[in-house]
Amino acid sequence: MKTDPAEVRHWTTGAGVGLKLCLSCHKVCAEQTTHCPRCDARVYQRRQNSITRSWALTLTAALLYIPANLLPMMTVSKFEEGQPQTIFSGVIELMNQGMVPIALLVFTASVVVPVLKLLGMVWLLICVRFPRATMHRQQMLYRMIVWIGRWSMLDIFIISLLVGLVQFGKLGTVTAGIGAYAFASVVVTTMLAAMQFDPRLLWDAAEIKKP
């Protein structure tokens, strides 16, 4: 990424030259066209309602993050009724059992990453609302959020696998808790929020800031 502040100021946006992009087939269209001449999809200058949706989804994710952490993710039963584990109690349990790296991994994937994602999204949305000059950093943040979002599903995958595989009756059973659904919703909603976010708005914001 070029981060030379001297060069940052010199760019041109599609909107600036009367062009807009079909998000469906990525054809560059004239500003006046409402429908893509190639794929006939509706063409907007910017993603419609991007900020609103992102906000809504981010807010949803943030709200769901509360139960996702407070409610038990899964219950592991060995011979006896097991104790439902929340994410954090699971991490502590792993720590207690001496599996620090795994605990760190789980902590990272389940706690750090979602929190960072949420915080990042909020940061980006705020940046759109209150334009700042650090457009490249925001861009980088956005890409990171998009890239890292898929890894948040690690927990869900593990739970899905365990629930599916570990069904040995009295010997051992793994059941998913309601926290898992909440957590999955968090991950999905944050990803959707990231997808709904139109990074070009950051350019626009930077454009506003520039003069």
What residue ranges bind other proteins (CB under 8 A)? 15-16, 44-46, 48-49, 51-53, 56-57, 59-61, 63-64, 66-67, 70-71, 79-81, 83, 129-130, 182, 185, 189, 204, 207-208
d(CA 196, CA 29): 21
What b/e string do you get for 36-54 counting C-beta neighbours within 10 Å, with b at 16 or more? beeeeeebebbbeebbebb
What is each CA distance from 112 to 73, 92, 139, 148, in whole angstroms? 16, 15, 20, 11
Q: How far is the CB of 79 from other proteins (least distance, A)?
A: 5
CA distances from 186 to 62, 64, 114, 182, 200 (A): 7, 6, 8, 6, 25
Rank residues 5 and 16 by Cβ distance to other proteins and give the closer one: 16
Give 3 or 52: the residue with its C-beta nearer to other proteins: 52
The answer to whether the CB of 194 falls within 8 A of the CB of 121 is yes
Identity of the residue numbered 17: V
CB of 97 to other proteins, least distance (A): 14
Phi, psi of 45 (to 5 degrees): -65, -45
Q: Rank residues 1 and 208 by Cβ distance to other proteins and give the closer one.
A: 208
**Cα 136 to Cα 139: distance, rounded to the nearest angstrom:** 5
- Residue 139 Cβ, how far from other proteins at the closest point, in Å? 19
Choice between 46 and 136, CB closer to other proteins: 46
Which CB sits closer to other proteins, 61 or 74?
61
Residue 145: CB minimum distance to other proteins, A: 18
CB of 190 to other proteins, least distance (A): 12
Give min distance, CB of 192 to other proteins, in A: 9
> Looking at beta carbons only, is 45 or 173 nearer to other proteins?
45
- Which are the contacts of 96, defined by CB distance < 8 A and separation ≥ 6? none
